[in-house]
Each structure stands twice: as C-alpha cells, then as structure tokens.
Amino acid sequence: PSITRGVTVEIPKVSWDDIGGLNDLKKKLKQAVEWPLKHSDAFSRLGVSPMRGILLHGPPGCSKTTLAKAAAHAAQASFFSLSGAELFSMYVGEGEALLRNTFRRARLVAPSIIFFDEADVIAAKRGNGSSGSTTVGERLLSTLLTEMDGLEEAKGILVLAATNRPHAIDAALMRPGRFDLVLYVPPPDLEARYEILRVHTRGMKVGNDVDLRQLAEETEHFTGAELEGLCREAGIVALREDITASIVHARHFQTVKSSLKPALTKQEID
Ligand code: ATP
C-alpha cells in the first residue's frame, strides 16, 4: 500500500524460491543483505562498518527488482521502492524532499531496504548533460550521497539500486561506504530458463506433454520476464480455445512461443 506519493512500503512476499537460476548470486546477495540488517550489533562490536549499498546491473526483465524484494523478504525488512525516473520528473525540490523523507521513514521502521529502480537516471555522471536537466540530476544525486553518508550512524538500512546502464553511474556513488558491492544479474542461461519456467508453471495445470527442458532449449535469449509472460499467455491461449479447459498443453506454449521475439539481442547478452 502506498503511503506517500511515489513510494511504496511493505515487506515483500516474494522469496528466493520464486527466482529461477542465479544460485550463486542469490547466495551472495543473501549474505550481503542479511548480515548488516540482522547483525548490525556484531558489526559495531568489531568496529567494522556494515555494507550500505549494493548495485545490481544487467539487462531489463532479468529479476533485479525481484531479487531486491526477495532480499527484503528474507531479512523481513520494510521495502521502500523509488523510481529514478519518477524522482527526476518531479517538481523542483519535490524529488529531494521525497528522497530525504524516504530515508527518514526507513530509519523509523528499520530494518529497511531502500530500492532505486532506474538508478542511472538520478545517479548519472555529473556535468555531461544539457544544462537544465543536469541541475535536477545533480541535486538529486547530492541528496542521495548525503543520505547515504548519513547511514553511518543508522542501523539496519541498506540501499539497493538497479540499472541497465552501470557505466552511466557517477563514480562518487561507487566509493567505499556507498555502493560497496556491485553485482551483475545476467540473462538466464539454459538451466536458469528451465528453473524460471518451473517457477512460473508451479501454480498451473500443465499437461504431461509439456516438456520444460525442451522449452528452455527453445527459448534462448528470452528474459525471465518473457518466460513468465510465455507461461501466462499459454494459459490464456488454452482458455481462448476452450473456456472450460482444465489443462494447458504443449501446443499452447508453442503457439505463444512462435509469436514471440525475444527483446534481448545477442549483443546485449555477450
Ligand atoms: P527492469 O530492469 O525492467 O526493471 P528487472 O531486472 O528489475 O527489470 P524484474 O522486474 O525483477 O526484472 O522481473 C520482471 C518479471 O520477470 C518479474 O515479474 C519476475 O517474476 C520475472 N522474472 C525475471 N527473472 C526471473 C527469474 N530468474 N525467475 C523467476 N521470475 C523471473
């Protein structure tokens, strides 16, 4: 439920099991998130400052947002979600106020994760845009830097950011104590595609003729989002064919698959 315009807060319900593939990444993220959020006292005991920010980068539709949510779920942390593009489009001063307000609220209900989607929009390299837009971006970025530096005293708050354009992120954000960890979220390989198809057919009635292994082989270059769409659409095709249908068959998956073109190009994957 939304409490402030532009921010939603909740403890997400999605879990690590809802994400197919990416096992090593899930492990790394799990540790990186759970340690500072759950054991912040242990860090202060040793005089070690816990991680404050994690940057997830990779092509669209490959579970960056879902990973951030699963991390919050695992740590039972409140999840504050902000969109870089939305902040950027707000009236003068409104975006900065929302940023500060979000950090304040996150402190109140810690443990919290603050998630920035399209982070490159507000964290773009300084001084290389058109004059008007640079000013808005610069102010947002400097507010974000101030808030992140202020996390030193705050316990149980972690900032996660997602971008498709990691090279556009300002170097100031990549210094230690800001985004300490950078993780690449790759498009799914064969095994991951199989796992993703399994996740998204878990709740469906699929016929014995549906071979998910083969389907995974036939969906090279598909993103997780596209595989999810494929499963859902197959169900719709089955119902369109017969509204009393109780099983989704292989031919329904095939019909959808042949009408889809994966959005990722080979170049983006390499
Ligand atoms: P964007 O960069 O466009 O914001 P994203 O990388 O954040 O994309 P998500 O929003 O997490 O991607 O994923 C989009 C949809 O695809 C989600 O509904 C999610 O369930 C599904 N999805 C993507 N990857 C996976 C995966 N590995 N396992 C299961 N579902 C996946």
CA of 258 to the centre of ligand 1 (A): 22
Query: With a 6 A CB cut-off, is 225 part of the ligand 1 pocket?
Result: yes
The answer to whether residue 159 scores a pLDDT higher than 80 is yes
Tell me the chain's radius of gyration from C-alpha atoms.
21
Query: What is the pLDDT at residue 8?
Result: 63
CA of 67 to the centre of ligand 1 (A): 8
Residue nearest to atom 17 of ligand 1 (CA): 225
The pTM for the full model equals 0.89
Ligand 1: atom nearest CA of 60 is 2
Query: What is the pLDDT at residue 164?
Result: 93
Q: What is the pLDDT of residues 226-260, one digit of tens each?
A: 999 999 999 999 999 999 999 999 999 999 999 88
Name the range with the highest mean pLDDT among 137-141, 164-168, 223-227. Answer: 223-227
Query: What is the pLDDT at residue 47?
Result: 84
Query: With a 6 A CB cut-off, is 119 part of the ligand 1 pocket?
Result: no
Which among 25, 6, 139, 20 has a CA at the least distance from the CA of 82?
Answer: 6
Tally the residues of the chain.
270
Q: Which residues contact 32 (CB under 8 A, 6 or more apart)?
A: 51, 54, 181
Biggest distance spanned by C-alpha atoms of the chain: 65
The token pair that represents 94 in the structure block: 């409104």
CA of 28 to the centre of ligand 1 (A): 18
Ligand 1: atom nearest CA of 69 is 11
Query: With a 6 A CB cut-off, is 262 part of the ligand 1 pocket?
Result: no
Helix extents (H) in 39-184: 40-46, 64-74, 84-88, 94-108, 119-122, 131-149
The answer to whether residue 266 scores a pLDDT higher than 60 is no
**Across all residues in the chain, what is the average pLDDT?**
88
CA of 164 to the centre of ligand 1 (A): 13
Ligand 1: atom nearest CA of 19 is 28
Mutate to test the pocket of ligand 1, among 13, 54, 63 (most ligand atoms within 8 A of CB): 63
Query: What is the pLDDT at residue 6?
Result: 55
CA of 223 to the centre of ligand 1 (A): 8
